[in-house]
Amino acid sequence: MALFVAIAAALTIVVLAVVLWPLWRESRGVALAGVLAFAVAALGLYRLVGTPAAIDAPAAAPTPRTMEEAVAQLEDQLQRDPGRADGWQLLGRSYEMLDRRAEARDAYARALKLDPDNPDLLVQTAQARLFADKDKRIDDEAVAMLRHALELQPEHQRARWFLGVWQRQEGQSAEAAETWEPLLAQVDPATANTLRVQIDAARRDAGLEPLPAPPPGAAARSANALTVKVSLDPDFASRVRLRGDASVFVIARIPDGPPMPVAAEKHPLQDLPMTVTLDDDDSPMPTQKLSALQEVEVFARLSSSGEAMRQDGDLESKPVRVKLPATETIELVIGGK
């Protein structure tokens, strides 16, 4: 386990170095802060959901300095311990970054044999088969993977998208349009606009009319956006004197998941009562968006210090679980019983 963690960390550092190099040249302080923030966040999340002892254990091999060295160490480790689905999945991602597409396909296939009911892995393996194919066509085995992923997770966006791509390749334009249409309610407005063009093209090829135009103002609202009304309990407000520099955080997070929010807004206390809209623009993590979730927990926090991290003396409203998409306003009361 320790070596897998070391290699994964090294791969992260190598990729970050490539991604942040232009920024480093312009502003070393900003780039360094980005690397440090990413590393701290990754370490914190791993300590929450992983095996802390594995991080503290010494690696069995020197820390790789390049992507190629990291991949070579990972290949060697998997030869000794081939029963690790996560290791083969990591190797597949690494091969993809090195544009070694046939090897990525094979690594994902090894991972899938060990974890056959993982929707993300099913889609990754199907995608790897597509990219490795010289004609860039989705074969029957990949289609079976995509269908199985949708059986396990009907809202899986990438599975639905690639299944529609296969249907278009097979001349099943009406079926492709039908497969893609549910995505319009799940993706952000910009993506929805692009997707609508593809759906209308498929419908046109099938002899169907284009989709009805979206209602006015629909594009301004992200998929799964939440309307939240926040207020102070009147009795609480009459009994307690609050600091004028206190802040109110409105937060959505994954129920029973990690404490990091998937969307959050900060407002001054004086704004109460207030109504806010939480959407993808409020996400602190670009890899985790409201538009990709089926359920969230929403609450409001009154912070005397104005800091986002919860501290002694902060008050929170009763959390509310919400199925997405939600059309009704969520009401949160701070200080109530």
Task: Give residues with Cβ within 8 angstroms of 236, minimum separation 6.
Answer: 334, 335, 336
Domain end: 173, 205, 237, which one?
205
47 and 188 co-located in one domain: yes
200 and 232 co-located in one domain: no
240 and 164 co-located in one domain: no
Question: Which pTM was predicted?
Answer: 0.53
140 and 253 co-located in one domain: no
Task: Give residues with Cβ within 8 angstroms of 168, minimum separation 6.
Answer: 176, 202
Angstrom distance (rounded) from CA 174 to CA 176 = 5
Q: Looking at the 3D structure of the chain, how many domains does it have?
A: 2
186 and 235 co-located in one domain: no
Residue 130 clears pLDDT 90, i.e. is over it: yes
137 and 85 co-located in one domain: yes
Strands 330-334 and 226-232: parallel
Is residue 259 in some structural domain?
yes
Q: Using pLDDT thresholds of 50, 70 and 90, give the confidence band for residue 38.
A: very low
Contacts made by residues 233-239, CB under 8 angstroms, sequence distance 24+: 233/333, 233/334, 233/335, 233/336, 233/337, 235/335, 236/334, 236/335, 236/336, 237/335
Strands (E), 281-319: 295-303, 315-316
Peptide bond into 325 cis (omega under 30): yes
Residue 47 clears pLDDT 90, i.e. is over it: no
Is residue 190 in some structural domain?
yes
189 and 258 co-located in one domain: no
Is residue 132 in some structural domain?
yes
115 and 6 co-located in one domain: yes
Residue 250 clears pLDDT 80, i.e. is over it: yes
Q: Other CB atoms closer than 10 Å to residue 288's CB: what's the count?
A: 18
298 and 269 co-located in one domain: yes
Distance set, CA 163 to CA 25, 172, 181, 194 (Å): 42, 11, 12, 17
Is residue 125 in some structural domain?
yes
- Domain span holding position 310: 226-334
The secondary structure element, H or E, covering residue 267 is: strand 263-268
Tens digits of residue pLDDT in 285-333 = 666 778 888 899 999 999 887 777 777 778 899 999 999 888 889 999 9
Tens digits of residue pLDDT in 172-231 = 999 999 999 998 887 767 677 788 889 999 999 999 999 987 765 554 455 678 999 999
241 and 150 co-located in one domain: no
Q: Using pLDDT thresholds of 50, 70 and 90, give the confidence band for residue 160.
A: very high
Is residue 217 in some structural domain?
no
In Å, how far from its chain's centre is CA 286? Answer: 7
Angstrom distance (rounded) from CA 243 to CA 193 = 45
Domain end: 140, 171, 205, which one?
205
CATH code of the domain in which 108 resides:
1.25.40.10
Nearest to 92 by CA among 144, 133, 127, 45: 127
The residue written with tokens 């079976």 in the block is: 144
117 and 183 co-located in one domain: yes
Q: Which residues pair with residue 175 across a beta bridge? A: none
Is residue 216 in some structural domain?
no
Domain end: 170, 205, 240, which one?
205
Is residue 108 in some structural domain?
yes
Is residue 221 in some structural domain?
no
120 and 236 co-located in one domain: no
